[in-house]
Amino acid sequence: MNSAATATIPTATIPSVTTQGETSIGVEVIFQLLSQELQQSTKASAQNCQDVARRITSEVYRICSESKRIQASGAVENSAMTLAKHRLQQCLRYYQLGSNRGRVELHSTLSAIIYRYINPPQRQLSYQGRLTIIEDFLQGFYLEALNAFRRENQLGPTYRPQTLLELAEYMAFTERYGKRRIPLPGRQQQLIILRAQTFSQQQPPETNVDIEQAAEGSSNEADGSWEEPAVQQLRSAMATQAAPEPEEDTLRSVVVTELMDYLEQRQQSDCADYFSLRLQDLSTQEIEAVLGLTPRQRDYLQQRFKYHLIRFALLHRWELVHEWLEASLHTNLGLTPQQWQVYTAQLDEKQLALLELKQQGQPDDKIAKTLGMSTAQLQKRWFKILEQAWEIRNSLVSGSGASTHE
């Protein structure tokens, strides 16, 4: 047998766990299990595997010792073994992903959790702007997690992960650290959300800048406002004559931000998380892994998100969405002349009148009065009108139901 596999761990360095006079499962047993599994599943050195196994074992026994629930359960031994195996699988998962994919996975997981909580006061952020602030926040959070890792494992202040196994151990710890539940009055909240909220509130408000002064410089050399970082940044951008953001990208950012706000206002936080992961082009399997869902749960969430997406696109902010899709009323809802003819032939008399009044730019309250209906009835009819146009456009894109004139 490999001598490394039979190495012992100083049990004095790990708190003992007992309950009702029963001795917990031996520290040595869990340490040996972890050490052997790490050596079989990784290419790390025996010493590296033992160091990681020792830290995991120490954490497991500390948790079991401090947990009143585990102590009162009468099954401390089983809890310790279950927890140790769970910690091992988390570590091996990041190890198998590798350095680059592991970092991306961790970053995506934490970003999805905090996305809707990054909202600096008095600032209207685009989707890209919010991602930039998330990036800044997470860089500081990773350092905080490293310091917590050092402290909880009694490592020196200069310790840094050097091997892939140590990096995987640190990334698994960082994910758990961010998801820790912090007790608050009447509720619990994840630690990373509390940190994100504090970070967001500490962001400086937008600075009002005199555009002419920024472009041409201050006429008063003693004017200290010219040294403001925001002014310098704006002047630098203007001096380089950077190309403006394409209108399509700008509209997309607005649509994304407003859809996120729409979901948050309706307390659909899980739909917002799902949407943020979809924006990152993650696969179905990756989304299920990040959100901890079964395929059936993910499918249910996807259908619920689709419901809210359609409500947003055809009712709540239909003008914005259709402008982005280049399917506004001015362009006959994006339909070709032949499609428009077929489409209008499907509408009844009141729907045609409603469509005409909408094209004239009449406000909803006036349209409702003219047509003798309530605002709710008007919105229901308008939703149906847009839905029919949406179906015709989609049939053209998908190729189903193609026009006979093609």
In contact, 141 and 178? CB cutoff 8 Å: yes
Most confident of 88-102, 113-127, 233-247, 266-280: 88-102
3-state helix/strand/coil string of 29-54: HHHHHHHHHHHHHCCCCHHHHHHHHH
CA gyration radius, the chain: 29
Q: What angle do CA 334, 337, 339 make, to 5 degrees?
A: 70
**Identity (one letter) of the amino acid at 46?**
A
Q: Is 399 left (phi over 0), alpha (psi -120 to 50) or beta?
A: left
Q: Please report the pLDDT score of residue 120 as a whole number.
A: 67
Locate 120 and state its tokens. 């600096």
Return the higher-pLDDT residue of 284 and 396: 284
Q: In 3D, which of 190, 162, 160 has the Cα closest to residue 175?
A: 190
Confidence of residue 8 (pLDDT cuts 50, 70, 90): very low
CA atoms within 13 A on the CB side of 182: 11
Coil, strand or helix: which one is 250? helix
Return the higher-pLDDT residue of 182 and 129: 182
**Identity (one letter) of the amino acid at 394?**
N
pLDDT average, residue stretch 69-83: 79
Return the higher-pLDDT residue of 230 and 406: 230
Locate 320 and state its tokens. 């914005």
In contact, 11 and 31? CB cutoff 8 Å: no
Coil, strand or helix: which one is 391? helix
In contact, 30 and 87? CB cutoff 8 Å: no
Q: In 3D, which of 147, 145, 167, 171 has the Cα closest to residue 157?
A: 147
Is residue 55 predicted with pLDDT exceeding 90?
A: yes
Q: Which of 127-136, 149-158, 317-326, 379-388 has the lowest mean pLDDT?
A: 317-326
Most confident of 86-90, 352-356, 380-384: 86-90
Q: Please report the pLDDT score of residue 184 as a whole number.
A: 78
Is residue 89 predicted with pLDDT exceeding 60?
A: yes
Q: Which of 151-165, 274-288, 300-314, 375-389 has the lowest mean pLDDT?
A: 274-288
pLDDT average, residue stretch 194-210: 70
Return the higher-pLDDT residue of 76 and 96: 96
Give the rounded percent of residues in the chain with a pLDDT score beyond 90: 17
Is residue 23 within a helix (H) or strand (E), and if so which, with residue range?
Answer: strand 22-23
Q: Please report the pLDDT score of residue 133 as a whole number.
A: 84
Is residue 248 predicted with pLDDT exceeding 70?
A: no
* Ramachandran angles phi, psi of 282, nearest 5°: -75, 150
CA distance 318 to 321: 5
Is residue 209 predicted with pLDDT exceeding 70?
A: no
Most confident of 101-105, 112-116, 298-302, 385-389: 101-105
Return the higher-pLDDT residue of 270 and 164: 164
Residues ≥6 apart with Cβ < 8 Å to 97: 105, 168
Confidence of residue 218 (pLDDT cuts 50, 70, 90): very low
Most confident of 193-207, 246-260, 298-312, 385-399: 298-312
Q: Please report the pLDDT score of residue 64 as a whole number.
A: 80
Confidence of residue 394 (pLDDT cuts 50, 70, 90): low
Q: Which of 147-161, 232-246, 369-383 has the lowest mean pLDDT?
A: 232-246
Q: What angle do CA 138, 277, 189 make, to 5 degrees?
A: 55
Indicate the burial class of 343 (C-beta count within 10 angstroms; 0-12, 13-18, 19 or more).
buried
pTM: 0.50
Q: What is the DSSP letter of 184?
A: E
pLDDT digits (tens, 9 = 90+) for 104-131: 889 888 988 888 788 766 666 666 777 7
Computed from CA positions of residues 234, 237, 238, 243, in that sequence, does the dihedral angle turn out positive or negative? negative
Residues ≥6 apart with Cβ < 8 Å to 73: 79
pLDDT digits (tens, 9 = 90+) for 10-47: 444 444 444 333 344 477 888 899 999 999 999 999 99
pLDDT digits (tens, 9 = 90+) for 249-268: 466 667 777 787 788 777 88
Q: Please report the pLDDT score of residue 125 as a whole number.
A: 65
Q: Please report the pLDDT score of residue 213 as a whole number.
A: 45
Q: What is the DSSP letter of 183?
A: E
Confidence of residue 300 (pLDDT cuts 50, 70, 90): confident
Coil, strand or helix: which one is 2? coil
**187-190 vs 181-184, strand pairing mode:** antiparallel
Is residue 50 predicted with pLDDT exceeding 90?
A: yes
